[in-house]
Structure 1
Amino acid sequence: MNWETLLNQELWIDLAVILAVTFVCYWVLRTVLNLIAHRLDKVATNAQGSHARILGFATEMLRRTSRFLLFAFSLLIGLKAAELPDRWAAMLSHGWFIALAMQIALWLDGGVRLWMESLTRDGKTRNPVTTTIIGIMLRIVIWTMMLLSILANLGVDITAMVASLGVGGIAIALAVQTLLSDVFASLSIGVDKPFEIGDFVVFGDVAGNIEHIGLKTTRIRALSGEQIVCSNTDMLRQFLHNYKRMDTRRIVFKFGVTYDTPPDKVRQIGGVVREIVEAQNQTRFDRAHFVAFDDFQLTFEVVYIMLTSDYNTYMDVQQEINLALLQRMADMEVDFAFPTQSIEFLGGRFPEVTVAGVASAQPANDNGPRLA
């Protein structure tokens, strides 16, 4: 042991200066970070919407600053206060970068974790699989970039490593391209949100509620009770009707009256229909018109808007409208049309018809009798 080195007064003075600067810097950095976090928290409390959310994320990220890395950063500042050999100065420059890179990576990783927690804060995440996949991918990218940047700063040639990662990724992608297609479709569903868990959807001949959006498949509980499993890729390839996002319903229905209805009563029917529709709750009348001379009937077309998307409410309202139409048409002595057919019998004699055991026949007249 070199006792002369240990008894060197300058060495102990340098160590004392380094420790003093280190602890002072550590205290200053901790105080500044706490003040900034406290200030951001106050601003976030008074802010609203996405601005408040971003400020809240920044506050939590600052509060999750690593104390060990903060002390290492302070120590590096303290070492600057002493004269060091060139070898130690080179190591110190690498230490600055490593500490800063790791702290930035920790902040970004904390931001990703906070984003994932914010989506599940109420216990119900809209697409948990997609959220987890995106979170894992972002964290892998953050820590991979941090590791590569540190290796590059230390003088390691990372070109071959990056090339190997690229070639390996291409080989894996070709081997599992079908699975990756569904995985990226799941990510697309999570980001674009064409449907979410609980939505009622119809596509093709399938109708039901979304139960689960997975990594490869989406599961739907059909109206008949069974569970239908669909590929995520197939779900995005088809036209899909999402009825849960429907705020209103446009209802169109038709009815017909007989041809012997007087014109003045036909003219009144539109106003009667308007009164009936406007008397219902959660409806907005659009129009009611006599639109066509169809087979067997004079056709009316009615359009109104349901101010709710609930199907059962719509059916209740439509039933009340139908019942009111029956009553009002009966009061007006107007008959609803139904299919009828006329048969014209020309020449000859009617066939014998037995009624109560008595046969009767009528000769045909010149005009040709008609049976209706």
Structure 2
Amino acid sequence: VMAAMLGWVGQVMVWTILLMFVLANMGVNITALVASLGVGGVAVALAAQTMISDLFASASIGLDKPFEVGQFIAFGNDLGTVDYVGIKTTRIRSLSGEQLIISNTNLLNQLIRNYGRMSERRVVFGFRVPYGTKRERVEAIPARVRTIIEQQQQVRFDRGHLASFGEYGLEFEFVYFVLNSDFTFYRDVQQRINLAIMALLEEFDVEFAVPVRHVRLAAEGMEGLPAVQPPFRPDQNRVN
């Protein structure tokens, strides 16, 4: 980016000097021309302030390097792979395939998440089992799930616990790190863990707890309530 920008500035300066020499040889008053250009330059600068802002933003990207071509980034509600960083705009290839074009100034004014520089990914997941599950099986679940996680490649186990007594069951929470920034690799690891947990609960003859509400109806004290009358219908008072 910096090389392209410096090359562009150099070309403008060379062509400007050549133009001044040509005009001077043609008898044009260069002093008056420069003075008039000074007044016009103010108007041009006001009109081109957005482009100048993008130019400085491009220089900032080149010097600070918050991201580089080929890296996967997220900004605002969008994400994708950086295709090209230009003097005015940056082009990003989204997951759905289209190219997103955003001015460098607008891009740098947002929070940018650079997944291309992620060294490891922290994963938090959980599941719940019914309250009727036997205590010895509840105690065994954290250790067995830890073994499942530690058997995966490029994974570092962090912690696993019976986290809380939830509204719908006993809730477990597990945390581990994937030592690979590739998203597909992480999803493959999580899928293998999920399938192994399903097999573990089948072995324990335990089902996953799902949201269920139980409603109890009490019949006590209803004897003294008045009988419910049927709704009035106009045809009941019809005279034949």
Residue 149 of structure 2 is aligned to residue 277 of structure 1: yes
Q: Give the SS at the match of 2:153.
A: coil
2:129 maps to which residue?
257
Partner of 1:306: 178
Deviation at 1:246, TM superposition (A): 0.7
Q: What do the CA deviations read for 1:124-149 (whole angstroms, capped 9, x no partner)?
A: xxx4xx3211345479889x9xxxxx
1:1-372 to 2 correspondences below 5 Å: 127=1, 130-137=2-9, 172-347=44-219
The 3 A distance-change label for structure 1 pair 190 and 164 is farther
Higher alpha-carbon Rg:
1
CA distance in 2, matches of 1:241, 1:282: 23
C-alpha RMSD of the superposition: 2.7
Amino acid at match of 2:145: V
Per the TM alignment, residue 164 of structure 1 is displaced from its structure 2 partner at its CA by 9.4
The one-letter code sitting in structure 1 at the alignment partner of 2:52 is L
Give the whole-Å Cα distance in 2 for the aligned partners of 1:289 and 1:217. Answer: 48
Q: What's the secondary structure of 1:342's corresponding residue? A: coil
Alignment partners' CA distance in 2, 1:261 and 1:135 = 71
- Return the TM-score normalized by structure 2: 0.76
Of Structure 1 and Structure 2, which has the larger fraction of its residues in strand? 2
1:294-333 CA distances to partner (integer Å, 9 max, x unpaired)?
1111111110010101111111111110111111122122
The DSSP-based 3-state class of the residue aligned with 1:337 is: coil
- What is the rounded CA distance, in whole Å, between the counterparts of 2:43 and 2:118 in structure 1? 44
**Matched residue SS, 2:143:** helix
- Counterpart amino acid of 2:122? R
Match of 1:80 in 2: none
- Residue 297 of structure 1 aligns with an amino acid whose one-letter code is G
TM-score norm. by structure 1 comes to 0.50
How far, CA to CA, are the matches of 1:170 and 1:195 in structure 2?
A: 34
How far did residue 213 of structure 1 move?
A: 1.3
CA spacing shift, 1:166–1:195, aligned 2, 3 Å: farther
Bigger RCO (CA 8 Å, 6+ sep): 2
Please tell me whether the aligned partners of residues 277 and 321 of structure 1 are also in contact (alpha carbons under 8 angstroms). Answer: yes
AA partner of residue 56 (structure 2): F
Identity percentage over the alignment? 49
The answer for unaligned runs of 5 or more in structure 2 is 17-33, 221-240
Letter in 2 for 1:307: L
* Contact persistence 1:288–1:302 (CA under 8 A): yes
State the aligned residue count: 204
- Are the counterparts in 2 of residues 202 and 242 from structure 1 also a CA contact under 8 Å? yes
